């Protein structure tokens, strides 16, 4: 990814894969993989999303987001499982209505690789988080969506438990600017959006401390899902 184009290479076979993202000429990439439905067009899918104020749930008739992870400049790796099919790789960091994309095909492997067992699991549902409330820097953690809607998991760093409670109250009230004024560092993007049934996993590399985990996907009535209960205080500790 370079902000203007995105290219896909490697062994394009089904099964567990290590997605290696390489970002150049932009501060951060937003690589996403969309598994397209038969006959679907990624451009038509993006136009449907744009015509509904950016609501990614309108991708559903065209495909599903099976991978979406922030990628810092340089290289980074996140694991996922890819089924055989036709895909589109997108770089959403440009902010363009039609971001850079590239279509490719995953063929069926004779012996698909299996993902390693994670040390922790965070699950999104409609509308909440389930699973581990303590993660460890350096451990392999799986993020999975078991809700029917598209969900995300981003972690807001705070200084202490009191600030965590205040930030939680702010996001529940939809006062996100006030919540951000209390943050004690950079936001950690665990997953930026996964469709129903999809997952990805990665080795956690985050500063130990207290975080408020939220989903800020927007509902049809304009509220963030955090206002519906998709928030949770977690801790990241040294392994």
Which overall architecture, per CATH, does domain 15-106 show? Answer: Sandwich (2.60)
Q: Which fold has domain 120-238?
A: Immunoglobulin-like (2.60.40)
Q: Token digits for 104?
A: 């490719």
The yes-or-no answer to whether 15-106 and 120-238 have a common fold is: yes
Residue 64's DSSP bridge partners are: 35
The string of pLDDT tens digits covering residues 31-83 is: 999 999 999 999 999 999 999 888 889 999 999 999 999 898 999 999 999 99
DSSP code, position 45: H
- Going through the chain in order, the beta strands assigned E by DSSP cover 15-29, 31-36, 63-68, 71-82, 85-91, 101-106, 120-125, 128-131, 134-137, 140-145, 151-158, 188-194, 199-203, 209-214, 231-238
Output the pLDDT for position 96. 85
User: What pLDDT does 15 receive?
Assistant: 97
> d(Cα 234, Cα 99) in Å, to the nearest integer?
33
Cβ(147)–Cβ(216) under 8 Å?
no
- Domain parsing of the chain, residue ranges: 15-106, 120-238
């Amino acid at each position: 990814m370079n902000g203007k184009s995105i290219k896909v290479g490697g062994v394009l076979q089904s099964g567990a894969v290590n997605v290696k993202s390489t970002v150049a000429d932009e501060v951060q990439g937003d690589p996403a993989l969309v598994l397209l439905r038969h006959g679907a067009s990624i451009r038509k899918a993006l136009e449907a999303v744009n015509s509904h104020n950016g609501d990614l749930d309108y991708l559903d008739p065209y495909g599903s987001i099976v991978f979406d992870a922030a990628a810092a400049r340089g290289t980074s790796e996140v694991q996922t499982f890819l089924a055989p099919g036709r895909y589109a790789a997108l770089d959403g960091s440009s902010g363009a209505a039609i971001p850079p994309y590239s279509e490719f095909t995953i063929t069926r492997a004779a012996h698909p690789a299996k993902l390693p067992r994670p040390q922790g699991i965070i699950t999104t549902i409609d509308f909440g988080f389930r699973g581990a409330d303590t993660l460890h820097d350096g451990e392999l953690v799986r993020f999975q969506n078991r809700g029917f809607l598209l969900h995300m998991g981003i972690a807001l760093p705070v200084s202490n438990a009191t600030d965590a409670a205040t930030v939680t109250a702010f996001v529940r009230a939809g006062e996100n600017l006030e919540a951000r004024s209390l943050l004690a560092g950079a936001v950690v993007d665990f997953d930026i959006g996964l469709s129903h049934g999809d997952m990805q996993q990665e080795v956690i590399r985050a500063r130990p401390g207290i975080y408020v985990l939220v989903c800020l996907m927007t509902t049809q009535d304009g509220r963030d899902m955090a206002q519906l209960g998709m928030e949770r205080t977690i801790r990241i500790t040294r392994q």
